[in-house]
Amino acid sequence: MTEQLRLMAVHAHPDDESSKGAATMAKYVSEGVDVLVATCTGGERGSILNPKLQGDPYIEENIHEVRAKEMDEAREILGVKQEWLGFVDSGLPEGDPLPPLPEGCFALQDVEAAAEPLVRLIRSFKPQVITTYDENGGYPHPDHIMTHKITMVAFEAAGDPEKYPEAGEPWQPQKLYYNQGFNRARTVALHEALLARGLDSPYEEWLERWKTFNRPERTLTTYVPCADFFEIRDKALIAHRTQIDPDGGWFRVPMDVQREVWPTEEYELAKSLVDTSLPEDDLFAGIRNN
């Protein structure tokens, strides 16, 4: 295939692109693929999760601007393009019963209407491949679930000239994937490898929580080899300083163990308009040779 390859990753908040599929994106950028991150919200209601920055009045009062600057830095590290869809973070409701979502937030938008800016971006960027979250959002954050919903609508509508006629010339993406990097097989493999080496594992609590999940394991269809880009992934994630503690559990697995034990990032092929054979090792399988 001589046409420029293009990948779009649709995410809910700034930092999601660096924790889900970041090494994959960096790998494709290194190969000359044009990669665009579509960020649905500004992360305005995200908590400050880095204990070193909690209580900083400037950050608390200017969280939207701070997170936008973090996104700028992460984008540069990954080498990707990035666009904001302009929705307002819904926050993660907590309590029993759960409180109502804030008025005007992303998760309360009409799905068909909220898909319009994504359709417009797809028609402008013309990706052959799109990645996003599954119907559970990867985890049940209302913005992640809404991101899934608008991406499914936009994938189908972008190529239909009768849908969103004011949003540009139709363009039909060929494949849609769900990020499944936080899968049980990977977690178990890394956990057991750490214990076998006499090292502490940060995954023990994760595996205990997994036992309480009342849902089937997802189907992993695509394993993208990207171990050479794990360090870039981590640098991009650390750029989101308000959201990640550089001394936290995310970074406790030695890089050599990660590369040896689990050198891929995983995806679930949700829709494909091209022929491909599973399992895959390339998001563009079936496209490169057409």
**16 annotated ligand binder:** yes
Contact 122, 130 (CB under 8 A): yes
In this structure, what DSSP letter does residue 182 have? S
Most distant CA atoms of the chain, gap in Å: 60
**13 annotated ligand binder:** yes
Domains by residue range for the chain, with CATH: 6-182+220-272 (3.40.50.10320), 184-217 (no CATH)
**148 annotated ligand binder:** no
DSSP string, 78-105: HT-EEEEEEEPP-----SSSPPPPPTT-
pLDDT in tens, the chain (290 residues): 458 999 999 999 999 999 999 999 999 999 999 999 999 999 999 889 899 999 999 998 999 999 999 999 999 999 999 999 999 999 988 887 888 999 999 999 999 999 999 999 999 999 999 999 999 988 889 999 999 999 999 999 999 999 999 999 999 999 999 999 999 999 999 999 999 999 999 998 888 887 777 677 889 999 999 999 999 999 999 999 999 998 887 899 999 999 999 999 999 999 999 999 999 999 999 998 66
Instruction: Say whether pTM exceeds 0.85.
Output: yes
Which helix (H) or strand (E) is 224 found in, with range?
Answer: strand 222-225
What b/e sequence results for 53-80 when a residue is b if at least 16 CB atoms lie within 10 Å of its CB, and e otherwise?
A: beeeeebeeebbebbbebbebbbebbeb
